[in-house]
Amino acid sequence: MTDEEALNYVNTMAKAIDLPLDEVRAKNVAMHLGRTFGMVTALKQYPLAPEQELAEIFRPSPFPVVAGKEGA
């Protein structure tokens, strides 16, 4: 992803969700998007098995039930 592609994507998405974004902020967001894309590209070179993907294994605990609260 080039810097120009990242900036075009950010501006397009901001417009799609009616998010006011000035030029400086859009460039900063695009810079971070480009960095994230670079990290993902590097990580995709090393595929992991399902048992190595902690996000696939992790299950959050349910919220505790509090007596006297609505829905409890």
Tokens of 59: 């299950």
pLDDT at 65: 80
What secondary structure letter does DSSP report for 22?
Answer: -
Q: Which of 38, 40, 25 is nearest to 11 (CA)?
A: 25
At 23-49, the pLDDT tens digits run 999 999 999 999 999 999 998 998 888
Taking the C-alpha atoms of residue 10 and residue 30, their distance in angstroms, rounded to an integer, is: 6
**Position 68: which residue type?**
G
| Per-residue pLDDT band at 70 (split at 50, 70, 90) | low
